[in-house]
């Protein structure tokens, strides 16, 4: 596997009042005319992320880019699980409804933040989204006692399957709290009520790794493929394969993309999202500063 980098697709900031920095966590959605609808999170002057949307033609990204003037999913009311931020994770279309799964952020006192999985739905093709609940759909419990985030969901024969980030705890490092999280699995019959038994799909490779971030899962004819990012000193894009979506083998050495010698993704790469456009397989991802530079893209080199 080898990815050919194409540079920045969406440069940050997009210069709107609610988006003074960052364009992070890309979620691509192909439209019927071959255009791309791109969901992302941007931060306001207080550092709060909200979910925005752009549309563009991949044959002329710069000339065709149009960004919605207002967020499509906003932060929640004071005290809600998403009152400090909302960041996108994936989108699912099923039975005429679009489900936008996201991570809702709150600020903490003993730890800097907490986040949990939320969902907003649209019944008009994505024009307007409404949150299904003021509460998260994947709250902490005995399986996930610390946090949940960044779900990737696909529907197979009526079964909703989710791979998501689960916190394993906090530690003090040089006097500062540091999170740890890896990737678990859940199932649902309706996309909203989820069953969890603690199955870990992607665990830490070694003691230096402490954050395994937003998975993206594609089912090909012969296997499931997952792209995600893992962090020791800095995030790198990683890769795994599975025959059933449950037992995964990490194949990071086969991911086929790495940081550049200089430029916008020279320090880190994170939050990959993979989508097929005809015969082309594309990856969208973030570089330096967790999306401070914007969203880049790459093509998979076919044999």
Q: What tens digit of pLDDT does each residue of 276-290 get?
A: 998 899 999 999 999
User: Domain residues for 169?
Assistant: 3-300
- Picking from 218, 222, 82, 96, the residue whose alpha carbon sits closest to that of residue 163 is 218
Greatest CA separation for the chain: 53
How confident is the model over 239-261, as a mean pLDDT?
97
| Band of pLDDT at residue 52, cut at 50, 70 and 90 | very high
| Band of pLDDT at residue 150, cut at 50, 70 and 90 | very high
15 pLDDT more than 90: no
Is 47 within 8 Å of 92 (Cβ atoms)? no
| Band of pLDDT at residue 33, cut at 50, 70 and 90 | confident
Question: Taking the CB of residue 260, how many other CB atoms lie within 10 A of it?
Answer: 15
Is 219 within 8 Å of 246 (Cβ atoms)? no
Peptide bond into 192 cis (omega under 30): no
Q: What is the pLDDT of residues 63-73, one digit of tens each?
A: 899 999 999 99
Residue 97 maps to which CATH number?
A: 2.115.10.20
Burial of residue 193 (number of CB atoms within 10 Å: 0-12, 13-18, 19+)? exposed
How confident is the model over 101-130, as a mean pLDDT?
97
Determine the Cα–Cα distance for residues 295 and 289; give it in Å rounded to an integer: 11
Determine the Cα–Cα distance for residues 287 and 23; give it in Å rounded to an integer: 10
Calculate the average pLDDT of the chain: 96
Spacing of C-alpha 176 from chain mean position:
26
How confident is the model over 148-165, as a mean pLDDT?
98
- Picking from 298, 299, 238, the residue whose alpha carbon sits closest to that of residue 270 is 238
CB within 8 Å of 291: residues ≥ 6 apart: 12, 22, 23, 24, 25, 40, 41, 270, 271
State the total domains in the chain: 1
How confident is the model over 7-17, as a mean pLDDT?
94
Q: What is the pLDDT of residues 166-185, one digit of tens each?
A: 999 999 999 999 999 999 99
pLDDT of residue 302: 77
62 pLDDT more than 90: no
pLDDT of residue 303: 66
Whether the model clears a pTM of 0.75, i.e. scores above it, the answer is yes
Determine the Cα–Cα distance for residues 195 and 186; give it in Å rounded to an integer: 6
pLDDT of residue 34: 78
Is 19 within 8 Å of 11 (Cβ atoms)? no
- In angstroms and rounded to an integer, the radius of gyration of the C-alpha atoms of the chain is 18
Both structure tokens of 48: 């709060």
Apex CA 92: angle with CA 79 and CA 125, to 5°? 90
Where are any strands of DSSP class E within the chain? Answer: 3-11, 21-30, 36-43, 49-56, 66-67, 85-94, 97-107, 113-122, 130-131, 148-156, 159-173, 176-188, 194-202, 211-219, 224-231, 235-242, 248-250, 270-277, 280-286, 294-300
């Amino acid at each position: 596997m080898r990815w050919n980098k194409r540079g920045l697709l969406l440069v940050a900031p997009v210069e709107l009042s609610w988006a003074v920095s960052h364009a992070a966590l890309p979620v691509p959605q192909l439209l019927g005319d071959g255009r791309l609808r791109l969901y992302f999170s941007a931060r306001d002057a207080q550092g709060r992320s909200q979910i925005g949307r752009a549309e563009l033609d991949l044959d002329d990204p710069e000339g065709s880019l149009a960004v919605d003037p207002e967020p499509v999913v906003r932060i929640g009311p004071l005290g809600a699980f998403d009152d400090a931020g909302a960041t996108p994770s994936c989108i699912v279309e099923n039975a005429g409804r679009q489900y936008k799964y996201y991570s809702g952020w709150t600020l903490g006192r003993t730890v800097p933040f907490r986040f949990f999985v939320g969902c907003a739905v649209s019944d008009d093709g994505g024009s307007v989204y409404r949150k299904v609940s003021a509460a998260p759909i994947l709250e902490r419990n005995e399986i996930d006692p610390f946090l949940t985030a960044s779900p990737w969901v696909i529907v197979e024969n009526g079964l909703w399957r989710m791979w998501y980030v689960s916190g394993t705890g906090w530690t003090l490092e040089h006097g500062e709290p540091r999170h740890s999280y890896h990737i678990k699995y859940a199932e649902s019959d309706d996309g909203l009520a989820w069953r969890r038994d603690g199955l870990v799909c992607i665990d830490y490779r070694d003691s230096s790794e402490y954050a395994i971030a937003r998975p993206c899962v594609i089912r090909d004819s012969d296997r499931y493929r997952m792209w995600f990012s893992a962090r020791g000193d800095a995030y790198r894009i990683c890769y795994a394969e599975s025959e059933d979506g449950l037992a995964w083998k990490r194949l990071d050495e086969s991911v086929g993309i790495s940081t550049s010698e200089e430029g916008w993704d020279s320090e880190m790469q994170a939050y990959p999202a993979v989508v097929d456009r005809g015969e082309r397989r594309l990856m969208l991802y973030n570089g330096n500063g967790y999306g401070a530079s914007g969203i880049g893209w790459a093509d998979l080199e076919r044999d």
